[in-house]
Amino acid sequence: MSIHTPDWVKHAVFYQIFPDRFARTQAPQPFIFSQANWEAWGDPPTLQGYKGGDLWGVMENLDYLQTLGITAIYFTPIFQSTANHRYHTHDYYQVDPILGGNQALQDLLEAAHQRSIKVVLDGVFNHASRGFFFFNDLLENGPHSPWLDWFKIEGWPLAPYVGDRPANYVGWADNRALPVFNHDNPDVREYLMQVAEYWLEFGIDGWRLDVPFEIKTPGFWQEFRQRVKAVNPDAYIVGEVWGDAQEWLDGTQFDGVMNYLFTAPTIAFTAGDRVRLDLVQDRAYSPYPALDAAGYAAKIQDLLGRYDWQIHLTQLNLLASHDTARLLSIAQGDRASVELATLLLLTFPGAPSIYYGDEVGLPGELDPDSRRAFPPESQWDQALLDYHRRLIALRHRLPALRTGAYQVLLAQGFVYVFARQLDAEIVIVAINVGLDAAQVQVSPDDRWASLERLPQSWQVSFGPLTVTGTSQGLALQIPARSGGVLTAR
């Protein structure tokens, strides 16, 4: 079968926002609380405290995102909840009043769309919360509740808060705060489908799906895709799947997944033995042990062989998220690791996603530290921000970096060189993660049958490379711990 994925995603640069931590509005707005018990913005985040970020604040910073080159935002959950991360959904039809309510989302969508910025929301459809009305009715009325079959009840009485007794219902990851839906119940299924349709009709541009692999009901995600695409054929459906995702990327379910199979080897290659194992060993990805260029090439070739090319072009590629430590902290403050990984991110097939603050050098260890408040401009790493801006602009300027074929040209020692080709446009990216400068010769060979010879005249479009073209290929000089981009003249 022919796989169709949304064309706009192939050209997008995403920015992931944790709404409580990005920005508070600077202007009086409806539904915003002036006397709330917020944590100080610059203090270390806690598991239960709120910083008071809101959607109005995001709207006031759209110019910043546009200047950075962002064309799509992925929000972690925004619906009413009693958790600062909002994965404990109370009401799927109400944007959290702390964020400004439904009106704030409507205004944000209008402002974002005027700038051609798409907005993707987080759909938490595996589980709800103890405060979700249907589950709360169970707590009040027990086996007499009309919503009895909406959840997976194992016995009575239910114990939603008392830890010394069995919960007597299934909670996600054994967490009694997160009662799991009974997706085999057609009423539950229909309710969740209508939630997805409602917000698409409201104006959002897609759904990121939380732990979709937990939903085992046959046909659920196939129906979800059909219902979503009926409302908006170009809506983006991206699943949170950390490992191999072939089961969900057959063209009948998701358009892509959060591509941790790109994240892990990219960190292992660029950060190498700088990786702090205590920040990665209990996660569902493995950015260790250190990889040399050949090891990295093998991982990338394996990844590119797993899915249809149209799926690769709509994968959500990332270096960090709210579920991981930030790369700057993983690499023990080594900025070169961040720069090299960002270069690989922004030249790889699929939609790159930047976790808010990474572009200005915001550190962060594991949750809750990885969810710090966005820093004031006085604390930004301006050089790193400029690095991101220039790379994003280059991606927007060169179509081959977005949809061109990907071919490894050289993987030798600590030097990795690959090409992206779209029709006559050829772009070469070269990375040296080693501690010494490298000189390499790159020539076309049987692996790239479509190229009889490389162009002889090249220019450096990004980075500190030195290049000399010959009839046999090109000679590259790459300083230590650096990389760059070449384009044919």
Q: Is the pLDDT of residue 166 over 50?
A: yes
In-domain check, residue 176: no
Q: For the segment 300-313, what is each residue's pLDDT rounded down to a tens digit?
A: 999 999 999 999 99
Residue with the bigger pLDDT between 213 and 451: it is 213
- Among 397, 413, 440, the domain-final residue is 397
Helices (H), 23-100: 55-60, 62-68
**Average pLDDT value for the chain:** 95
Residue 27 — pLDDT band, cuts 50, 70, 90? Answer: confident
* CB contact at 8 A, 232 and 3: no
Q: Is the pLDDT of residue 32 over 90?
A: no
**Looking at residue 52, which CATH number applies to its domain?**
3.20.20.80
Helices (H), 128-259: 133-141, 186-202, 220-231
In-domain check, residue 189: yes
In-domain check, residue 137: no
In-domain check, residue 135: no
Q: For the segment 332-348, what is each residue's pLDDT rounded down to a tens digit?
A: 999 999 999 999 999 99
In-domain check, residue 447: yes
Looking at the fold, whether 12 and 61 belong to one and the same domain comes out as yes
Looking at the fold, whether 388 and 458 belong to one and the same domain comes out as no
Q: Which of 210, 323, 358, 359 is catalytic?
A: 210
Looking at the fold, whether 469 and 449 belong to one and the same domain comes out as yes
- Among 353, 379, 397, the domain-final residue is 397
Looking at the fold, whether 23 and 42 belong to one and the same domain comes out as yes
- What does the pLDDT read at residue 435? 98
Looking at the fold, whether 219 and 366 belong to one and the same domain comes out as yes
Q: Which of 20, 96, 205, 240 is catalytic?
A: 240
Range of the domain at 468: 404-488
* CB contact at 8 A, 372 and 336: no
| Tally of residues, the chain | 489
Q: For the segment 168-194, what is each residue's pLDDT rounded down to a tens digit?
A: 999 999 999 999 999 999 999 999 999
In-domain check, residue 120: yes
CA distance 129 to 127: 7
CA distance 81 to 75: 15
Looking at the fold, whether 244 and 200 belong to one and the same domain comes out as yes
107 is catalytic: no
- What does the pLDDT read at residue 446? 47
Looking at the fold, whether 393 and 409 belong to one and the same domain comes out as no
365 is catalytic: no
- What does the pLDDT read at residue 449? 44
Which residue in the block uniquely carries the two structure tokens 């930004």? 380
**Looking at residue 483, which CATH number applies to its domain?**
2.60.40.1180
Number of domains in the chain: 2
Looking at the fold, whether 456 and 314 belong to one and the same domain comes out as no
- What does the pLDDT read at residue 454? 64
Mean pLDDT along residues 457-483: 91
Structural tokens at position 356: 């808010």
Looking at the fold, whether 204 and 299 belong to one and the same domain comes out as yes
Q: Is the pLDDT of residue 56 over 90?
A: yes
- Among 397, 413, 441, the domain-final residue is 397
Q: Is the pLDDT of residue 18 over 70?
A: yes
Looking at the fold, whether 359 and 437 belong to one and the same domain comes out as no
Looking at the fold, whether 417 and 364 belong to one and the same domain comes out as no
Residue 451 — pLDDT band, cuts 50, 70, 90? Answer: low
Structural tokens at position 169: 């219902």
Looking at the fold, whether 302 and 441 belong to one and the same domain comes out as no
Residue with the bigger pLDDT between 36 and 38: it is 38
In-domain check, residue 478: yes
Q: For the segment 88-134, what is each residue's pLDDT rounded down to a tens digit?
A: 999 999 999 999 999 999 999 999 999 999 999 999 999 999 999 99
Dihedral of alpha carbons 368, 59, 236, 393, sign: negative
Percent of the chain's residues with pLDDT above 90: 91
Q: For the chain, first and last CA: distance in Å?
A: 39
In-domain check, residue 170: no
